[in-house]
Amino acid sequence: TSARTQWWRDGHFGMFMHFGLYSAYRGEYRRPDGTVCRNAEWIKRDCAIPWTEYEAKAATFNPSGFDANAVIGAAKAAGQKYFVITTKHHDGFAMWPTKVNNWNIYDRTPFKRDILAELATAARAQGVKLGFYYSIWDWHDPDAQPGSTNYAAYVTRMKAQLKELLTNYGDIAELWFDGEWEAPWTDQEGARLEDFVRGLAPNTIINNRVGSRGIADGDFGTPEQEVPATPTDGQLWESCMTINDHWGFAAYDTNYKSATTLVRHLAGIAASSGNYLLNVGPDERGVIPQPQIDRLTAVGNWLRTNGPA
């Protein structure tokens, strides 16, 4: 409970966004034999899509409907104080023009824009804080694979990417690491990574998935898909949740939580001094589906009618 985390403790409510090359599949992969495999951000691995096909998909990925002002506006209208986007999920695909490798949205797709820069500008203009999700686990980098004898080279590249993220887009409010559970990541590596981030961005709030919850615990805990019954006093936490049953876009998934349920989650979490990071998943055009927008609007309306101030 320091001045550094004040805004975060006061804010309670943020928008999570899972958006990546996987979004281009709309949640479905048609196998060569004609059968269909359904998944979202894990579609590459869970549907066993060959890299050649997944890489070819990148050449068709053109989310020209992405509108940073509209996205940040939707968060703001919902009463959300911060916004966290997947800059790189487990597929290793960077959603910004990284110079570290060419497995990124700028070099591999016809979409020649930097949505992180657009989001940074929109967020600053609208007074919403910007955060980045970054997966330590990487299915694509050859040096990050199980049995790699050169994992250190991958870690060096990872730090170079994080330096880009922390220095090219203004102040980054929150870093949301993930995939740390996957070997050969260690607590020691997590502690070094946390130090690295603190050195570059001392005010950035870091989640506990930077290490294996041993030495490097970051700033806050990350319960998932739940309103914890008995949070630990003095331990900051943020519960992330899907708005339907998937993180990434899945066109067939219409199992949306009702606005009433979302309000109940938010109120319950805030009452236990937690934060609620509610996810949206834009489609292959980069547009947040209307049913998701409708629910965000309803939560915002409830807050304006019943919330503080």
User: Given the rule CB under 6 A, which residues bind ligand JFZ?
Assistant: 41-42, 178, 224, 240, 247
Q: What is the DSSP string of 91-119?
A: T--BSS--SS-S-BTTTSSS----HHHHH
Instruction: Identify which of residues 86 and 161 has a Cβ nearer to ligand JFZ in the complex.
Output: 86
Instruction: Identify which of residues 124 and 257 has a Cβ nearer to ligand JFZ in the complex.
Output: 257
Give the distance between the most distant pair of CA atoms in the chain: 58
Nearest to 138 by CA among 51, 39, 250, 249: 51
Nearest to 73 by CA among 122, 17, 120: 122
Q: How far is the CB of 247 from ligand JFZ (least distance, A)?
A: 5
Name the residue with tokens 């490097």.
Answer: 216
Q: How far is the CB of 179 from ligand JFZ (least distance, A)?
A: 7
Instruction: Identify which of residues 23 and 302 has a Cβ nearer to ligand JFZ in the complex.
Output: 23
CA 285 to centroid of chain Cα atoms: 18
Instruction: Identify which of residues 178 and 194 has a Cβ nearer to ligand JFZ in the complex.
Output: 178
Nearest to 265 by CA among 304, 308, 228: 228
Name the residue with tokens 């060569």.
Answer: 32
Instruction: Identify which of residues 204 and 242 has a Cβ nearer to ligand JFZ in the complex.
Output: 242
Q: How far is the CB of 286 from ligand JFZ (least distance, A)?
A: 18
Q: How far is the CB of 240 from ligand JFZ (least distance, A)?
A: 6
Q: How far is the CB of 87 from ligand JFZ (least distance, A)?
A: 12
Instruction: Identify which of residues 74 and 240 has a Cβ nearer to ligand JFZ in the complex.
Output: 240
Alpha helix positions (H), the chain: 6-11, 43-46, 51-58, 68-78, 115-126, 151-167, 187-200, 259-271, 290-306
| CA–CA distance, 150 with 300 (Å, rounded to integer) | 48
Q: How far is the CB of 250 from ligand JFZ (least distance, A)?
A: 12
Within 10 angstroms of residue 234's Cβ, the number of other Cβ atoms is: 7
